[in-house]
Chains A and B, each alone.
Chain A
């Protein structure tokens, strides 16, 4: 694993913003920058990044997925670490790029070396930077959904809970089946909308049953799916990315709320 040269040197972190955060909710990007800087990192945002290529990869379009993978690697190769506020995109960069580029010796080694530097934001803070608590305040109860790729591809489970525990005033109420998929699945949600809907209905019922007035998770795709369903059901539950709360930036309107 890449490490900073000396303890005094700030590691250079390339923030992989993710296409959804870039387009829909930049505040998650700013929260990520703040958390990374608090953890002693120097953060850059390469202009040459777009999307990790997962929509192509999961639709079977290998050529486009490969092209995007190589573009992303080029844009981030210079950094000590590549960090994304999404388990899904980080999983793509870390686990699927080596698979996608593995059959060509010219790209296999590059993809492997790149993958070693990739981390999901919250697990990076805890596991790599040794962050144990954050300076933030949130008055109220929250529930946390374990988004699938972060949980099962990257082992993100205890880290967000550990940091949430250190947020002043925050109370974590676990929902039933927190580890069960919300039904988003990227293009799945538009290819099989009725099934996706049946799955997210079970999720929102569990969220509501937790009695927490706020839902957090680490992946914007899943959050948009759950926020969209909660608001269609007329449930008054605010939805946020976990990084926003950890960075003490929960003053902005929540996902799907009217902008002030």
Chain B
């Protein structure tokens, strides 16, 4: 996916004017946010589990090489193969080669953000292999030709009406008089349409929420069961996962799973939690003949031990974006690449560069709600601020702000000058707003006064009044 993060401001303006999107975004509060709060309240050990989960990830990251090698050896023991991909290119090539070797004409896909990160669908399609998304949300955006706008609810930006219109448009062979005004009817239609795709696919590609080193298993969590069909029906199963998904043991995986669903959808656990270990064994009733894991680095080892290390703890629950006022205002597409919201504002610059993604860590009020709900206790505002420092050091901060800051800081470091200037400013602004007590428009402050009034100062600064009072007494 070609990044459009440079156009964040334009994207955001368009999103703010998009009425169906705004309607869809308003629902997050009553769904994900309310459900997470309920789930948290009903699990007394929730915060202790967060600490445990964080410790598990920190330990794993400190020994990532060892756990990845252990994972690899267990996958091989179970009859699977592991492909190490340093870059998105390497991962795409590895997957295409497996598909070609299998003589694949079509592949089914479970939901995978890493799949989005490496743009695997486009790559396969270009090579003449049909890729069919089987997660309902992913299917919806695939037929619309859109990227996901949320990491766990890719089509959260769509309303029911839009989905109905798309289905009528795309599923032309179905009776036009059919009724499609309830979610269940839409799901049933998608399920029926996808069934043929499942049965015809030669290869199934899924992501992974966790990679368990002690067993060589990968874990996916879904609510539709599409992941199970994707990995069991075709002859070949490919797992595509980034390296920080590793955890040492099954027990560790379970600790993380206990906070993952609660943080994401507010469920105690997802409807399906599926463990895959190697291909079908003799005597197994079903399963793939071949089992491959593509392990993607794509910049992550560079984050290890660095300023953005904490971000590697992320388990992709989406709680940060569900609770973010900026995401809630503009939605995920405005961010212009695969990962939106606060986690995207930190991760995206690490993966595609701060020059490309410079807006993202700046577009935050630092309200801190993301950090407060993050199950892995990732200090997201601190990491966004760190990106701003990198930008400032690189000279990427716009000259206007830089000079403004310099002038202001020059004065603020000299109290006598500062107090003289603020005294002057307070009296000028007070005179400006004298008639109403507020200022409706002010040169150089258009960003503020375009949307709101500027309350006028009382007239004298506190320092002036305090000194006068001291003198008088």
Contact = CB atoms under 8 A, between A and B. Distances in A.
Interface of A: 17, 19, 21-27, 29-30, 45, 47-51, 53, 55-62, 64, 67-68, 71, 99, 148-149, 152-153, 177, 179-181, 183-200, 224-225, 227-229, 231-232, 239, 252-253, 255-259
B48 interface: no
Contacts of A57: 385
B272 interface: no
Contacts of A153: 368
- Residue from A29, A47, A198, A232 whose CB has the most chain B CB atoms within 10 Å: A198
Interface in B357-378: 362-369, 371-372
A195 B363 contact: yes
Contacts of A200: 451-452
A47 B391 contact: no
Interface string B432-458: 001111101000010110111111111
Nearest to A199: B325
Interface residues of B, number: 72
B385 A56 contact: no
B104 interface: no
A53 to B, nearest CB: 7
Given A30-B462, A181-B369, A225-B452, 19 more contacts: A24-B457, A56-B408, A58-B388, A61-B392, A61-B402, A68-B409, A148-B365, A152-B367, A185-B364, A185-B367, A189-B447, A190-B447, A197-B452, A199-B365, A200-B451, A200-B452, A228-B455, A259-B430, A259-B437
Contacts of A256: 437-438, 453, 455-456
A64 B405 contact: yes
Contacts, number: 218
A258 B434 CA distance: 7
A52 to B, nearest CB: 9
Nearest to B422: A23
Classify the interface of chain B: helix, strand, loop or mixed.
Answer: helix
A192 B398 CA distance: 14
B460 interface: yes
A33 B68 CA distance: 60
Contacts of A184: 365
Contacts of B436: 258
A180 B456 contact: no
Interface of B: 9, 12-13, 16, 29, 325-326, 328-330, 362-369, 371-372, 382, 385, 387-393, 397, 401-402, 405-406, 408-409, 411-413, 415, 418-419, 422, 425-426, 430, 434-438, 440, 445, 447-448, 450-463, 465-467
B458 A25 contact: yes
B35 to A, nearest CB: 16
A67 B414 CA distance: 11
Given A185-B366, A255-B455, A256-B456, A193 B447 contact: yes
Contacts of A187: 401
A224 B326 contact: no
B412 A195 contact: no
A138 to B, nearest CB: 20
B329 A189 contact: no
Nearest to B12: A195
Contacts of A19: 412, 422
Chain A CB count within 10 A is highest, among B363, B366, B385, for B366
A51 B407 CA distance: 13
12 contacts: A26-B461, A26-B466, A50-B412, A50-B415, A56-B409, A61-B402, A62-B393, A188-B363, A193-B450, A200-B451, A228-B452, A258-B435
A56 to B, nearest CB: 6
A196 B450 CA distance: 11
B367 A181 contact: yes
The 6 closest A-B pairs by CB, nearest first: A185-B365, A60-B392, A60-B388, A228-B452, A256-B455, A181-B367
B25 to A, nearest CB: 10
Contacts of B408: 55-56
Given A198-B16, A258-B436, A228 B463 contact: no
Contacts of B445: 190
B448 to A, nearest CB: 6
Contacts of A99: 382
A152 B368 contact: yes
A252 B459 CA distance: 13
B158 to A, nearest CB: 20
Contacts of B413: 50, 64, 67-68, 71
Contact of B412 (A30, A53, A186, A239): A53
Contact of A59 (B29, B388, B415, B434): B388
Nearest to B361: A60
A195 B326 contact: yes
Contacts of A179: 369
A49 B411 CA distance: 12
Interface centre among B391, B453, B455 (most CB of A within 10 A): B455
A221 to B, nearest CB: 11
B385 A22 contact: no
